């Protein structure tokens, strides 16, 4: 460890020796809870703490006995991909009484447990905090009644609590996403996509009821992700007279030749008088007023089931490790904290601040202060709502402003799921802003050939759920067609350009910016939206399409692991795409529970390959007799997938056998994941609003003239915010030979994968450990901040 930088903080100094951690899941189950449990157990054991399962939540803690069991590394093997919670969850009335908490304290003291990791909703976490506050009093009471020694009271004087929020409703303030929400969205979108095909066949209207008794997040995001005609959520009830407005909108859509209507209702939906709006009521209204063939589908517990998505597995794994670090660093003065997600950062927040704010939302709804309720839900929720309102309802032409600006949209590079959602969003927001929107077919090649056509609101209907690129895309850069492209821009009077694509899209806009001195036509606002499965664009932590590809990889790895479990003593080498960027291999490895992931960004040699083989040989002596190794396609020109396969086969002879699998273009296909639909839709809407602002700023004497650096920007997500960054400023951050950013945030998560696979490694925790406070956002921040 001699080469560790002095300004960094590493967790090796944090030892769990002599400490005991109890982990429990409580309240409603959620996909990804098992990934969190696995991370807590393995990180706990890694830092030499004892870790205990507390089965059946607080009920198990109260009952004690076999419900509280010390666990080993292997106890959490093969649970990463399992939905629900393997340690059980139960509602417990007894824990709400002091008597019950007294029993729970006694059972914990018997095993020396003074660190609790609670995975559940706000009720479960509030209970944990109360338990912590009463802890010393409970111990004294136990000592007085002779159940424990006075010595134990001194030894176990305080209880540390760290919470992780497991809830599919995403109803907890202080975190952008709770564990399980993304997986629940996957279930909903799978159903909506399936329903859409049958609804189109019969020209039907479908009313879908989704979970969310007090929070409309699932309903709102799924409406945004599938382009629903109408959505009902508890935080934002429809205005008076909504019945007529909805029917007018549905019939207008039918008149525009739309063959289906989708209406999404959250189970807790209410009107402005706090009266419930049920799916049956909505159905009856449509049938009576319009006579449309209407069906109701109640999704129910389907939303809680199934395997966790890649996002939830990574989120839960990161949170689980962070929770153990928080427990190790806790002091008697540290308030109980909750580990949450802000943008792309794992942060710690005071538990009761979050609970209080969550309760304030309900209070605001009860008092019918609905705008306040939306604001309290946070920037992300507010942004979703504003984007949905912008995209779902077309204002009459007479009400639209008329700017007479022509804005062109094109796709560049390889196809990525979510591109079409971004194009739909751009077209509709552009029309709402009063622009004429143009679609360019087949990237810059098509541009040079004049394949440009005006595109209307209705042309992009139903695009959100379509994979690939409906506009067509090519990798060709504009440099060799500059003159022809400038001609086409002049002919079609293009005043602004939105380029959606990967590294090629970034490079293309750099070329256009550099060609401005020769071609005045390029002196217009230009915006790049990152869309590539490789996630290799400088200036952004996430690209549209990467989440869908990651889910395809993880799904395949799950199947392969299952096959390896059956045959025993088998190691699979899997090759992923990504060019020189190791994002898919690394994050796929973390989400699938791989033993190793080889990436270009972290050089490896024959010694490391040998160490991995030895590690797998040791693993085969345990009850987990299978291995999974991921390799990025360009991680090393000599250590190819074939080479690694042959090396493992030879070195593992007599211990394990080997198989290899090249995943190939299946990673590029498929319907976009909810995250990619949502991300593409929101950043595209934001980009068009930026373009509108720039057009107004640069319109002089009857023409647009923009030649400053900040008029060619890339919109990227950086840590916690969406930022417009001039493409010229990003040049220094890009490695143009390998087409990757020079610095990549996900490399910090590499040690996480190694720790969870039982390798000794060094983990930089400089970013963690700071207890923050719950931010209260002004309405203005929703426009500028996070997604």
Of 219-223, 314-318, 650-654, 717-721, the least confident: 717-721
Of 125-129, 753-757, 770-774, the least confident: 770-774
Name which of 263, 268, 269 is nearest 292 in CA terms: 263
Per-residue confidence band for 367, with pLDDT thresholds at 50, 70 and 90: very high
Of 92-101, 369-378, 388-397, the least confident: 388-397
Instruction: Render pLDDT for 441-478 as a digit per residue (tens, 0 to 9).
Output: 999 999 999 999 999 998 998 899 999 999 999 999 99
Quick check: 27 pLDDT over 60? yes
Q: Which long-range contacts link 396-404 to residues 24+ away (Cβ below 8 Å)?
A: 400/431, 400/432, 400/434, 401/433, 401/434, 402/434, 403/433, 403/434, 403/435, 403/692, 403/695, 404/436
Instruction: Render pLDDT for 56-71 as a digit per residue (tens, 0 to 9).
Output: 999 999 999 999 999 9
List phi, psi (to 5°) of 437.
-100, 135
Per-residue confidence band for 12, with pLDDT thresholds at 50, 70 and 90: low
Per-residue confidence band for 769, with pLDDT thresholds at 50, 70 and 90: low
Instruction: Render pLDDT for 308-363 as a digit per residue (tens, 0 to 9).
Output: 999 999 999 999 999 999 999 998 888 899 998 887 788 899 999 999 999 999 99
SS (H, E, C) 448-467: HCCCEEECCCHHHCCCCCCC
- Eight-state DSSP code of residue 74: G
Quick check: 9 pLDDT over 70? no
Residue that wins the pLDDT comparison between 783 and 236: 236
Instruction: Render pLDDT for 664-695 as a digit per residue (tens, 0 to 9).
Output: 999 998 999 999 999 999 999 999 999 999 99
Per DSSP, the residues of 452-519 read EEE--TGGGTT-TT--S-TT-EE---GGGGHHHHHHHHHHHT--EEEEEESHHHHHHHHHHHHTTTT-
Name which of 722, 724, 721, 702 is nearest 711 in CA terms: 724
Name which of 677, 706, 679, 682 is nearest 692 in CA terms: 706
Give the integer Cα–Cα distance in Å for 327 and 23: 12
Identify the pLDDT of residue 256: 79
Name which of 87, 83, 237, 91 is nearest 168 in CA terms: 83
Quick check: 767 pLDDT over 80? no
Catalytic residues: 169
Average per-residue pLDDT for the chain: 91
Quick check: 785 pLDDT over 90? no
The fraction of the chain above a pLDDT of 70, given in percent, is 95
Identify the pLDDT of residue 174: 86
Quick check: 705 pLDDT over 80? yes
Q: Which residues contact 30 (CB under 8 A, 6 or more apart)?
A: 85, 166, 167, 168, 178, 179, 180, 181, 183, 184, 304
- 290 burial level (CB within 10 Å; 0-12, 13-18, 19+): middle
Quick check: 95 pLDDT over 50? yes
Quick check: 786 pLDDT over 70? no
Can you tell me whether residue 750 is helix, strand or coil? Answer: helix
If phi > 0 it is left, if psi is from -120 to 50 it is alpha, else beta; for residue 539 that is left
Mean pLDDT of 627-645: 96
**Would you tell me the crossing angle of helices 310-329 and 583-592 to the nearest 10 degrees?**
70
Q: Which residues contact 94 (CB under 8 A, 6 or more apart)?
A: 58, 59, 62, 100, 103
Tokens 């002095």 — which residue? Answer: 6
List phi, psi (to 5°) of 149.
-80, 155
The fraction of the chain above a pLDDT of 90, given in percent, is 78
Residue that wins the pLDDT comparison between 760 and 589: 589
Tokens 């190939």 — which residue? Answer: 664
Quick check: 779 pLDDT over 80? no
Instruction: Render pLDDT for 401-451 as a digit per residue (tens, 0 to 9).
Output: 889 899 999 999 999 999 999 999 999 999 999 999 999 999 999 999 999
Identify the pLDDT of residue 775: 66
E strand or H helix at 578:
none
Q: How many H helices and E strands in the chain?
A: 24, 27
Most confident of the following: 11-20, 34-43, 191-200, 258-267: 34-43
Identify the pLDDT of residue 17: 79
Mean pLDDT of 165-172: 92
Identify the pLDDT of residue 712: 97
Per-residue confidence band for 6, with pLDDT thresholds at 50, 70 and 90: very low
For the beta carbon of residue 118, count every other beta carbon within 10 angstroms: 29
Mean pLDDT of 35-57: 96
Work out the angle at residue 622's Cα, subtended by the Cα atoms of residues 616 and 626, and round it to the nearest 5 degrees. Answer: 50
Work out the angle at residue 672's Cα, subtended by the Cα atoms of residues 595 and 318, and round it to the nearest 5 degrees. Answer: 35
Provide the terminal-to-terminal Cα distance of the chain, rounded to the nearest Å. 38
Quick check: 4 pLDDT over 70? no
Instruction: Render pLDDT for 256-302 as a digit per residue (tens, 0 to 9).
Output: 778 888 999 999 999 999 999 999 999 999 999 999 999 999 999 99
Mean pLDDT of 749-757: 91
Q: Are strands 526-530 and 712-718 parallel, antiparallel or unpaired?
A: parallel
Contact yes or no for 167/180 (Cβ under 8 A):
yes
Quick check: 221 pLDDT over 60? yes
Predicted structure pTM score: 0.94
Residue that wins the pLDDT comparison between 777 and 762: 762
Quick check: 7 pLDDT over 70? no
SS (H, E, C) 756-769: HCCCCCCCECCCCC
């Amino acid at each position: 460890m001699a080469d560790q930088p002095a300004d960094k903080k590493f967790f090796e100094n944090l030892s769990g020796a002599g400490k005991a951690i109890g982990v429990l899941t409580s309240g409603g189950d959620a996909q990804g809870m098992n990934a969190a449990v696995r991370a807590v157990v393995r990180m706990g054991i890694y830092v030499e703490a004892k870790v205990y399962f507390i089965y059946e939540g607080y009920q198990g803690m109260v009952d004690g006995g076999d419900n509280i069991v010390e666990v080993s590394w292997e106890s959490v093997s093969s649970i990463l991909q399992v939905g629900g919670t393997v340690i059980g969850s139960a509602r417990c009335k007894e824990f709400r009484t002091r008597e019950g908490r007294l029993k729970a304290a006694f059972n914990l003291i018997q095993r020396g447990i003074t660190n609790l990791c609670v995975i559940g909703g706000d009720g479960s976490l509030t209970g944990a905090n109360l338990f912590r506050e009463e802890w010393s009093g409970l111990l004294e009471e136990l000592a007085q009644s002779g159940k424990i020694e006075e010595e134990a009271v001194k030894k176990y004087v305080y209880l540390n609590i760290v919470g992780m929020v497991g809830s599919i409703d995403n109803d907890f303030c202080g975190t952008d996403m709770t564990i399980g929400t993304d997986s629940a969205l996957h279930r909903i979108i799978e159903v909506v996509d399936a329903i859409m095909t049958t609804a189109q066949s019969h020209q039907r209207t479908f009313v879908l009821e989704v979970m969310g008794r007090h929070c409309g997040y699932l309903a709102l995001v799924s409406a945004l992700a599938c382009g629903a005609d109408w959505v009902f959520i508890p935080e934002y009830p429809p205005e008076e007279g909504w019945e007529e407005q909805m029917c007018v909108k549905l019939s207008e859509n039918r008149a525009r030749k739309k063959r289906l209507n989708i209406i999404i209702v959250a189970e807790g939906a209410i009107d402005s008088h706090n009266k419930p709006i049920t799916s049956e009521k909505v159905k009856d209204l449509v049938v009576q007023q319009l006579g449309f063939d209407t069906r109701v589908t109640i999704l129910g517990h389907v939303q809680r089931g199934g395997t966790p998505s890649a996002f939830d597995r990574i989120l839960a794994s990161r949170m689980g490790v962070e929770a153990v670090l928080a427990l190790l660093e806790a002091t008697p003065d540290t308030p109980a904290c909750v580990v949450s997600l802000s943008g792309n950062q794992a942060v710690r927040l005071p538990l009761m601040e979050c609970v209080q704010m969550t309760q304030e939302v309900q209070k605001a709804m009860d008092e019918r202060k609905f705008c306040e309720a939306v604001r309290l839900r946070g920037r992300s929720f507010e942004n979703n709502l504003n984007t949905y309102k912008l995209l779902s309802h077309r204002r009459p032409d007479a009400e639209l402003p008329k700017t007479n600006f022509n804005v062109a949209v094109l796709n560049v590079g390889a196809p990525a799921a979510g591109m079409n959602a971004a194009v739909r969003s751009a077209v509709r927001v552009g029309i709402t802003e009063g622009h004429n929107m143009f679609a360019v077919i087949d990237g810059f090649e098509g541009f040079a050939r004049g394949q440009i056509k005006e595109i209307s609101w209705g042309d992009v209907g139903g695009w959100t759920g379509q994979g690939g690129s409906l506009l067509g895309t090519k990798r060709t850069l504009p440099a060799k067609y500059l003159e022809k492209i400038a001609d086409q821009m002049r002919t079609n009077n293009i005043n602004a350009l939105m380029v959606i694509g990967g590294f090629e899209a970034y490079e293309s806009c750099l070329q256009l910016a550099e060609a401005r001195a020769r071609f005045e036509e390029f002196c217009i606002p230009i915006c790049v939206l990152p869309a590539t499965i490789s996630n290799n664009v400088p200036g952004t932590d996430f690209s549209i399409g990467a989440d869908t590809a990651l889910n395809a990889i993880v799904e395949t790895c799950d199947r392969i692991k299952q096959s390896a479990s059956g045959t025993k003593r088998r190691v699979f080498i899997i090759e992923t795409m990504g060019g020189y960027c190791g994002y898919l291999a690394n994050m796929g490895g973390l989400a699938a529970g791989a033993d190793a992931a080889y990436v270009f960004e972290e050089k490896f040699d024959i010694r490391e390959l040998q160490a991995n083989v030895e590690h797998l040989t040791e693993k085969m002596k345990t009850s987990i007799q299978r291995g999974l190794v991921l390799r990025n396609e360009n991680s090393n020109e000599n250590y190819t997938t074939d080479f690694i396969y042959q090396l493992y086969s030879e070195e593992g002879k007599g211990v394990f056998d080997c198989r290899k699998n090249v995943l190939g273009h299946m990673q590029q296909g498929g319907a976009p994941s909810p995250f990619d639909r949502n991300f593409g839709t929101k950043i595209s809407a934001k980009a068009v609003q930026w373009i509108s602002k720039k057009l107004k700023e640069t319109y002089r004497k009857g023409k647009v003239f923009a030649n400053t650096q900040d008029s060619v920007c890339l919109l990227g997500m950086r840590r916690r915010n969406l930022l417009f960054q001039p493409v010229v400023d990003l040049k220094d951050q890009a490695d143009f030979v390998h087409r990757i950013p020079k610095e990549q945030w996900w490399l910090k998560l590499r040690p996480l994968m190694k720790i969870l696979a039982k390798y000794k490694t060094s983990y930089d925790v400089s970013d963690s450990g700071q207890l923050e406070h719950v931010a209260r956002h002004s309405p203005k921040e929703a426009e500028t901040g996070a997604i």
